[in-house]
């Protein structure tokens, strides 16, 4: 197959970007239908960064600064957070456009450059995290961005240049890409840095590797000049703390499930089959590089919520790019060129539900009836351009056991082991879990605190997964707090209050925080109680 016309290829990429980003921006805001908690988590990071705070130094998070910086930039310029997110996605793909074009044009032939570029663009500018459930969500956008960068880096490192080698250009692209992964989500860097370095050595591109390393070091030095050495110490500390967390060390299934569960085993087998077929087709270096990528594919998928194996798209492309030029057969008599094409096709088929959901999401979002949505943060002015479905934003649903002592179901539960009731400050707290309606949940408590005159210039730690009440009123964010709770008592030193919700988002987190408070020995005094919460003052 021949290489594409570089101008036509570039024009195709621009057309796809304009179409997908344009239809997103024309909506004038973002209208989500799930993952409000994850969205509040990112909003805390975005607003803190827009206010000049640094992740890791000013608050705890394992997510890198680059995951939120493009959005925070537009928020700082005065745009609503919904439009800021959409413009940030456009900026990210604009920065990736040249590296994407170079990787596609220099590594693939025939229709593959167009397909590769389309995959990367969709991953960058989609309005859902993946899977096949179509509801719009901003959750985990940084996973999509990181996959897009990873696709570009792997294509350049794993595949030979179809034209003249450009070690300086490609080294700079690779070094910048890996630095971006460090600053966006370090999991991707940890998973792919070594395999890509070995891939370059196997392909004889040592000069490219050296330039990539020097580029990465230079970028790290620039960041250190602005943030100081303590930034890296704090970042590593956050990553280590979260890796040991009982709450969020792995957001979904186990590593074993990611490899061998029914939903994933087909892709795992295709990955192994691809390695075997490449070796049999005399593509030894390509087969070895793919084998080196296997642990990284599995590890990143394991670390990402829902365990969506986006690497299936890249697997199909790599297999098609490494097809043998002549007819070859293995010991079973298989035509290896055909076998690799079928394996690639199967990989695309497994990836199709998630990818099509990603690709169609901006257009599906454009057709949303905005009358069915309400601001995610009430009374937020310009930030009302981020909205949530009214069913999730104006009603509250909770789960409570119905088989307690004295209930009609008590006899049925008599033989079942039930956790001991949570007791704090001599009081047994109710068993209840808020399942839906987080905007109302946060707003009702924040408004009540404000009307009681307890918010101006004050900070609180909530015994729950989030302490996002400061988004809803004049409370201040915790110094050193965590937008998502991972353990310990982050930010409690700066808190004026401990707020104990009577129906928390995650009861287990409430228990962990209250146990940590007990262990700390910090004296508390109850001074406000409502049907929603108990408020304690630090003495």
Rounded to whole angstroms, the Cα distance separating 422 from 369 reads 43
pLDDT tops 90 at residue 421: no
Q: What percent of the chain has pLDDT over 70?
A: 99
pLDDT tops 90 at residue 479: yes
Question: What pLDDT score was predicted for residue 249?
Answer: 60
Q: Radius of gyration over alpha carbons of the chain, in Å?
A: 25
Are the C-beta atoms of residues 391 and 385 closer than 8 Å to each other?
no
Rounded average pLDDT over 400-421:
81
- Going by C-alpha positions, the residue among 139, 154, 149, 208 that lies closest to residue 180 is 149
Rounded to whole angstroms, the Cα distance separating 194 from 296 reads 10
pLDDT band of residue 306 (cuts 50, 70, 90) is confident
Rounded to whole angstroms, the Cα distance separating 402 from 431 reads 10
What are the distances in angstroms from CA 213 to CA 172, 174, 178, 200, 295? 9, 9, 9, 12, 22
Coil/strand/helix, residue 385? helix
Question: What pLDDT score was predicted for residue 355?
Answer: 98
Question: What pLDDT score was predicted for residue 405?
Answer: 76
Q: How many C-beta neighbours within 10 Å does residue 85 have?
A: 27
Give tens-digit pLDDT for 196-244.
999 999 999 999 999 999 999 999 999 999 999 999 999 999 999 999 9
Q: CB within 8 A of 259, min separation 6: which ones?
A: 265, 268, 298
Question: What pLDDT score was predicted for residue 416?
Answer: 74
pLDDT band of residue 253 (cuts 50, 70, 90) is confident
Rounded to whole angstroms, the Cα distance separating 407 from 149 reads 55
Rounded average pLDDT over 275-303:
97
CA 158 centroid distance within chain: 25
Rounded to whole angstroms, the Cα distance separating 327 from 113 reads 24
């Amino acid at each position: 197959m021949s290489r594409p016309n570089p101008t036509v290829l570039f024009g195709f990429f621009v057309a796809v970007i304009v179409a997908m980003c344009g239809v997103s921006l024309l909506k004038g805001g973002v209208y989500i239908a799930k993952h409000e908690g994850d969205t509040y988590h990112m909003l805390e990071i975005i607003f803190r960064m827009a206010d000049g705070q640094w992740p890791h130094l000013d608050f705890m998070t394992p997510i890198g600064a680059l995951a939120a910086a493009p959005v925070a930039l537009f928020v700082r310029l005065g745009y609503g957070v919904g439009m800021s997110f959409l413009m940030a996605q456009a900026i990210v793909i604009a920065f990736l456009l040249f590296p994407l074009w170079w990787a596609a044009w220099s590594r693939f032939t025939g229709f593959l450059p167009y397909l590769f570029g389309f995959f990367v663009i969709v991953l960058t500018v989609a309005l859902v995290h993946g899977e096949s459930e179509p509801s719009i969500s901003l959750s985990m956008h940084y996973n999509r961005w990181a996959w897009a960068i990873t696709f570009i880096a792997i294509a350049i490192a794993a595949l030979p240049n179809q034209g003249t080698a450009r070690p300086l250009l490609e080294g700079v692209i690779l070094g910048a890409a890996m630095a971006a992964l460090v600053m966006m989500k370090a999991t991707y860097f940890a998973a792919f840095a070594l395999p890509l370095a070995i891939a370059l050595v196997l392909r004889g591109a040592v000069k490219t590797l050296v330039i990539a390393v020097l580029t990465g070091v230079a970028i790290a030095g620039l960041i250190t000049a602005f943030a100081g050495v303590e930034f890296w110490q704090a970042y590593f500390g956050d990553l280590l703390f979260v890796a040991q967390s009982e709450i969020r060390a792995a957001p979904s299934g186990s590593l074993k499930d990611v490899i061998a569960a029914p939903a994933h085993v087909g892709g795992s087998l295709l990955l192994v089959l691809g390695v075997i077929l490449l070796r049999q087709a005399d593509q030894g270096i390509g087969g070895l590089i793919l084998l080196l990528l296997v642990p990284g594919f599995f590890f990143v998928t394991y670390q990402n919520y829902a365990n969506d194996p986006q690497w299936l798209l890249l697997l199909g492309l790599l297999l098609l790019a490494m097809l043998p030029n002549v007819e070859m057969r293995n010991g079973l008599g298989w035509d290896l060129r055909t076998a690799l094409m079928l394996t690639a096709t199967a990989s695309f088929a497994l990836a199709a539900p998630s990818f099509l959901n990603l690709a169609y999401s901006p257009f599906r979002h454009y057709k949303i009836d905005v009358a069915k949505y309400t601001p995610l943060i009430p009374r937020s002015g310009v930030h009302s351009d981020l909205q949530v479905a009214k069913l999730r934003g104006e009603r509250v649903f909770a789960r409570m056991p119905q088989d307690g002592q004295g209930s009609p179901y008590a006899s049925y539960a008599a033989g079942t082991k039930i956790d001991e009731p949570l007791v704090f400050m001599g009081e047994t707290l109710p068993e209840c879990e808020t399942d839906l309606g987080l905007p109302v949940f946060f707003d009702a408590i924040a408004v009540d605190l404000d009307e009681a005159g307890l918010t101006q210039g004050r900070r609180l730690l909530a015994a729950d997964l989030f302490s996002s009440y400061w988004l809803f009123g004049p409370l201040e964010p915790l110094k050193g707090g965590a937008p998502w709770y991972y353990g310990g008592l982050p930010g409690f030193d700066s808190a004026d209050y401990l707020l104990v919700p009577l129906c928390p988002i995650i009861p287990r987190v409430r228990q962990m925080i209250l146990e940590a408070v007990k262990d700390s020995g910090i004296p508390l005094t109850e001074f406000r109680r409502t049907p929603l919460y108990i408020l304690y003052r630090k003495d």
